[in-house]
A and B are shown apart, each in its own frame.
Chain A
């Protein structure tokens, strides 16, 4: 064939759809004009707000040559990071540019699910992804009813919309592994109306800081860490009760290595001392609290001597600290989550109650230097802004059995601990489809059971940003945008001394979508498009309600706030309008209205002589960041902290390996770290490790998951505590183990 240009062009034309658009200029990856394409940001600073923990520190991201090179704090944001960013926040840049990040929706083609099963993913379009999820959900609704769908997600507007539009009661959060006891204690005693614990503490202005296992400075939770350091700079006294020498203990004036799960005894005794010696804030207690007399009578039995025997803290010190606390004004007993009051032990709830009582007695709730109830902008409610008629939810029982605990059920967030049990037994009904947003299997207290439960389901979708263990169990994987890719605004949650919004500016690297867009896509595919609100209009309405706009926030250094010290409330959302030291709410529902001493659920014995403590490393956040190579470098596996005497007893040296045998029958091999900063009857290890998803290419195979040592908490066990437990806790620190040389 004599090749001429004409022939060639003709040939290109002939090939048509089956050929290549060589000369027609139909480009797939490019657009001709800037308007049709995605503009690249070459050198710019972007406002952001960290999405790794609840501190939501303001950030400024520096883009150079098209890429975020580094992140610094936003000095205009003074409640969270106050101009600082912690190492976790800094690591988010490498996570953003991690080659292992989820890039597009995926569908598994290998029907078998499990630890060693390659899902054999194929990339699919969002259209196909939504259609598949929608069809699967509709099928489940048709066959088993709307309650057969479970949504693992924190409470947020898109989740609540999705849940109500489907008509399922099963929106399930990590309440019981994280914050349920403090949350419900605050709910019944002070905040009421579906609201829960306070996340706001004016630590900076406290003259005395009494910590029962609170170690937020050791978790680099900047919204608490920075105020703590400021308080210390001003000369505050710090006292720490903790079975191990925590970071906060290292900054304290006094540290007591209290016996685990006995903080409740000490707090009850302190309450007794403060009341019987008339040291409480009389004016405050009289005007703001209810039930002092009954409380006083009840705690008389709890003497420092009695508490001392239980806790191994000297009686004189218990009494002295109580007096110091009451006399130093302002003083604070900071709590957060995953301290003994929430919800590590079976007796955590009464401790949470007692800690709040103590705080009220010293006049530190809604007062300078104490707790404040979070101050937020009054946003319109989504259901008022975009009213819809939801299907009637006929099934009120929950798969996690939270309906058996009406006070907790009113919050509607469920619990992780009993979900697997329910799903596996179809009790009270089958749950056969589900979706998970940003949770990982390893965060459940019973990962093996949850894995089995998911396998039992007909369909499971996972929304995530990295290919985690949860993704490996998915039928459909949906990539969410990384927080650094998101644009919009975020409301301050922790340390919300006054209402504050933070600006987010970002663009997606890949084909990820935000959760509201994903939820909307699913609703549309289910034929429920009428439930999709105009998210943009709603967000604009929220901004308007706060008196601002994206433009105004940008001009205001990325922050919008009504900065003023909060005026202390004197009325609370309880039936008596006061902080209920004696809880009428608990009494009404048949629970103990006052906290009493309860023995720990387990105690060391001959077979399992050590209590297993767990904690989080300062530079890790659950399982979110373990795939970051730089953070992993800091510590590549979890360590087993033990006292030198323990090490000698079992014959291990520093850096050697110990075998930890648990009541589950599983045994873990963990590297030993010897320290005097831990009781002789305790060992401690870190969460975050033991990833088995090989997609987590950095984290895979590093360390072990201490969750493997935790016995499952079955409903029949939890119900044993019902008289004093209005909410579930997974009591993850109520486990004792044996340790021997590996």
Chain B
């Protein structure tokens, strides 16, 4: 991972890179739809450029994800991803190997369950930012995609030119809390578990890429 240029872009480059990266990872860990494959096979390369410029090299993992799709038709590829996603994160046997909720990883309980204190922690921060779990989401609020999407939102709102100083400062504070006291604490373990739980190279790469990104982000964020 090349960190030399982490300060390369002045001003917004790191923010844009971070926002887009968080959004990208959220997309990878949402239930696979056709637009995911379109993205991987298409415009993602432009984002890879931005990320590279900001100092994150994701090219290898993206290449693997593109290569994985090649032998299949789009329909076949999508179904394989959906089956694997369901197996990893929704329902299967012996157990879903990587429940994608913070409460599974941030608890002392011997048998982690859904809706722990970490879930409440996340939701309170969502509320402070003026967001509420959407009726259409139909899952527990500390789901990985929700949390990643949240961070992406926070970052983009802060580079919004119409936002006032106080609002931006507030968002910045929320971002700091959310990342340092919550997201950074569980997502590395989650992404590691995903890598260990799947032989599907698409998800392996996505998890590896995500793991590396979070590490990079933690360094860049905490050094601000």
Contacts and interface: CB of A to CB of B under 8 A. Distances in A.
B72 interface: no
Contacts of B85: 123
A32 B130 contact: yes
A122 B88 CA distance: 11
Contacts of B137: 28-30, 38
A665 interface: no
B48 interface: no
Contacts of B127: 40
A66 B82 contact: no
A3 B138 contact: no
Contacts of B13: 3
B91 A106 contact: yes
Contact of B92 (A8, A37, A39, A118): A118
Contact of A104 (B9, B24, B138, B156): B138
A629 interface: yes
A37 B132 contact: yes
Interface string B60-95: 000000000000000000010011011100111111
A28 B145 contact: yes
Size bin of chain B's contact surface:
35 or more
A5 B130 CA distance: 26
Contacts of A101: 114
A22 interface: yes
Nearest to A93: B113
Interface string B13-26: 10010011001100
Instruction: Select the residue from A5, A693, A694 with max chain B CB neighbours within 10 A.
Output: A5
B95 A100 contact: yes
Contact of B138 (A25, A508, A697): A508
A510 B138 contact: yes
Contacts of B42: 18
B119 A122 contact: no
B185 interface: no
A103 B85 CA distance: 13
Interface string A34-48: 101111101000000
B180 interface: no
B35 A18 contact: yes
Contact of B94 (A37, A509, A694): A694
B115 to A, nearest CB: 4
A40 B139 CA distance: 13
A122 B83 contact: yes
Contact of A118 (B47, B53, B93, B112): B93
B80 to A, nearest CB: 10
B194 interface: no
Contact of A37 (B101, B114, B133): B133
Given A97-B113, A120-B87, A697-B94, A22 B134 contact: no
Interface stretch (B146-154, B169-177, B198-206, B208-216): B146-154
Contact of B113 (A1, A30, A94, A120): A94
Given A22-B152, A100-B91, A123-B90, A37 B83 contact: no
Interface in A691-724: 693-697, 700
Contacts of B196: none
Contacts of B59: none
Interface in A480-539: 508-511
Given A37-B133, A695-B92, A19 B139 contact: no
B135 A65 contact: no
Size bin of chain A's contact surface:
35 or more
B93 A694 contact: yes
B94 A30 contact: no
Contact of A99 (B104, B138, B152): B104
Given A28-B137, A29-B145, A66-B120, A97 B114 contact: yes
Contacts of A22: 19-20, 23, 152, 156
Contacts of A106: 86, 90-91
Contacts of A572: none
A30 B132 contact: yes
A510 B100 CA distance: 13
Nearest to A23: B156
B195 to A, nearest CB: 20
Contact of B134 (A37, A97, A118): A37
A103 B91 contact: yes
A309 to B, nearest CB: 53
Instruction: Select the residue from B113, B119, B143 with max chain A CB neighbours within 10 A.
Output: B113
Contacts of B153: 25, 27, 30
A115 to B, nearest CB: 11
Interface in A118-134: 118, 120-123
A32 B9 contact: no
B43 interface: yes
Given A30-B146, A99-B104, A67 B138 contact: no
Contact of B43 (A18, A65, A120, A467): A18
A511 B87 CA distance: 17
Nearest to B140: A509
A39 B113 contact: no
A15 interface: yes
A99 B112 contact: yes
A100 to B, nearest CB: 6
B90 A104 contact: yes
Interface in A664-700: 693-697, 700
Contact of B150 (A30, A103, A467): A30
Nearest to B36: A18
Contacts of B126: 30
B134 A27 contact: yes
B12 interface: yes
A109 interface: yes
Given A100-B91, A106-B86, A511-B138, A17 B35 contact: yes
Given A67-B119, A120-B83, A38 B134 contact: yes
A629 B111 contact: yes
B156 A36 contact: no
Nearest to A629: B111
Contacts of B49: 1
Nearest to B149: A29
Interface in B94-121: 94-96, 99, 101, 104, 111-117, 119-120
Given A29-B134, A30-B133, A109-B79, A467 B23 contact: no
B120 A510 contact: no
Interface in A4-22: 5, 8, 11, 15, 17-22
B120 A38 contact: no
A278 B129 CA distance: 82
Nearest to A511: B138
A254 interface: no
B20 A20 contact: yes
Given A22-B19, A121-B90, A3 B53 contact: yes
A510 B140 contact: yes
Contacts of B120: 42, 65-67
Given A20-B20, A694-B94, A122 B132 contact: no
A43 to B, nearest CB: 10
A3 B52 CA distance: 12
A98 B114 contact: yes
A99 B100 CA distance: 10
Nearest to B95: A697
A634 interface: no
A42 B35 CA distance: 36
A650 interface: no
Interface string A439-483: 000000000000000000000000000010000000001000000
Contact of B132 (A25, A34, A510): A34
B39 interface: yes
B4 to A, nearest CB: 17
6 contacts: A11-B46, A30-B146, A40-B127, A66-B115, A122-B82, A122-B83
By Cβ-Cβ distance, the 5 closest A-B pairs, closest first, are A37-B132, A694-B93, A29-B146, A511-B138, A697-B95
Given A66-B119, A121-B86, 10 more contacts: A18-B43, A27-B153, A28-B149, A29-B141, A30-B150, A37-B134, A99-B95, A99-B99, A99-B101, A109-B79
